[in-house]
């Protein structure tokens, strides 16, 4: 198929091609999981150099619209997973299960430890308290998607078992097993890139986009009950935020580390 780009337009060729390819994907010309034409074939279809095609594909790769398969070529990515983590009192497990995704949790580590300084501060603990620490990796349709490292006070959750979290969310587990109902969540969001450890967990390249956020969960009396570091693959997700003055009184955009 031959495509036409506007050679006299001030819009760069690579960007025009990028948008045309994106439209073809959205229109179903190339479906998720299908291989794209090669750089040579695309350069002939658009009548431009392979360097220009490569620049357009690199941008689509960064957007998560396509992905490269080593020694095979480029395929169309699956549609991004949409979540509503920033305008609902809800966890990823519940949110994604309600959307019909097949979810699997894997416990990577579990221990009872003395609290570190960040846990003392965020969970309002003394140095004599103990915390349960556990790591989880969540899979969506067998694809690694969400990593979390959580701390909860032993005094609030005696006899805690990480196996509780294989089939339910933290919010539901605390309510069901301990009668602790989460009333408020504080979330601090950062954009970052995959470390070597992240790349092994998610089976992605080092430097791939990662959404990082910290959760602190509170009871109605403002007692902190959970502190969690979360990492979600940026190439698989996008977030819907519904801002309503009736529900949100103040939103602060903080620049820099918290």
Q: Which pLDDT band holds residue 254 (cuts at 50, 70, 90)?
A: very low
140 vs 147, higher pLDDT = 147
Confidence of residue 173 (pLDDT cuts 50, 70, 90): confident
Residue 125 scores a pLDDT above 50:
yes
CA nearest 52: which of 43, 65, 40? 43
Q: How many helices (H) and strands (E) does the chain have?
A: 7, 10
- Alpha carbon distance 221, 89 (integer Å): 16
Q: How many residues does the chain have?
A: 258
Rounded average pLDDT over 145-163: 91
Strand order in the sheet with 131-140: 103-113, 131-140, 143-153, 224-233, 209-218, 184-193
**pLDDT tens for each residue of 88-113:** 555 555 666 666 667 888 999 999 99
Local confidence band at 29 (pLDDT 50, 70, 90 cut-offs): confident
What torsion, rounded to 10 degrees, do the Cα atoms 114, 117, 120, 122 define? -130
* Mean pLDDT value of segment 202-231: 91
> What pLDDT, on a 0 to 100 scale, did the predictor assign at position 114?
95
- C-alpha R_g of the chain: 22
Contact by Cβ (8 Å): 196, 235:
no
Mean pLDDT, rounded, for 204-230: 91
All structural domains of the chain, each given as residue ranges with its CATH number in brackets, are 13-76 (1.10.10.10), 81-239 (3.40.1410.10)
Whether the predicted pLDDT of 248 surpasses 50: no
Sorting pLDDT into bands at 50, 70 and 90, what band is 167? confident
* Sign of the torsion formed by the C-alpha atoms of 127, 183, 170 and 64: negative
According to DSSP, residue 38 is labeled: P
> What's the whole-model pTM score?
0.65
On the question of pLDDT at 220 being above 80, the answer is yes
Q: What angle do CA 151, 175, 250 make, to 5 degrees?
A: 70
- The torsion region of residue 251 among left (phi > 0), alpha (psi -120 to 50) and beta comes to beta
State the pLDDT at residue 222: 93
Residue 192 in contact with residue 214, Cβ under 8 Å?
A: no
As a whole number of angstroms, the distance between CA 3 and CA 181 comes to: 57
Per residue in 58-98, pLDDT (tens digit) is 888 877 788 888 778 888 887 665 555 555 555 555 666 66
């Amino acid at each position: 198929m031959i495509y036409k780009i506007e050679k006299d337009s001030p819009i760069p060729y690579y960007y025009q091609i990028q948008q045309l390819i994106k439209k073809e994907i959205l229109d179903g010309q190339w479906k998720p999981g299908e291989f794209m034409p090669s750089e040579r074939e695309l350069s002939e279809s658009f009548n431009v150099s392979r360097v220009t095609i490569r620049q357009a594909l690199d941008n689509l790769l960064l957007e998560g619209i396509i992905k490269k398969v080593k020694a095979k070529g480029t395929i169309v990515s699956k549609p991004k997973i949409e979540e509503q983590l920033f305008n609902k009192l809800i966890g990823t497990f519940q949110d994604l299960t309600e959307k019909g995704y097949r979810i699997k949790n894997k416990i990577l580590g579990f221990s009872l430890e003395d609290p570190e300084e960040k846990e003392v501060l965020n969970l309002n603990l003394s140095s004599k308290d103990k915390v349960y620490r556990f790591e989880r990796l969540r899979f969506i349709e067998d694809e690694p998607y969400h990593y979390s490292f959580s701390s909860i006070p032993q005094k609030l959750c005696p006899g805690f078992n990480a196996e509780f979290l294989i089939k339910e969310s933290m919010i539901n587990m605390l309510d069901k097993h301990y009668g602790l109902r989460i009333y408020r969540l504080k979330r601090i969001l950062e954009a970052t890139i995959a470390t070597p450890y992240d790349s092994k967990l998610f089976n992605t390249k080092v430097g791939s986009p990662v959404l990082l956020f910290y959760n602190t969960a509170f009871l109605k009396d403002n007692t902190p009950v959970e502190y969690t570091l979360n990492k979600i693959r940026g190439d698989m997700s996008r977030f819907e935020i519904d801002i309503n003055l009736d529900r949100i009184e103040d939103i602060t955009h903080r620049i820099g580390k918290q």
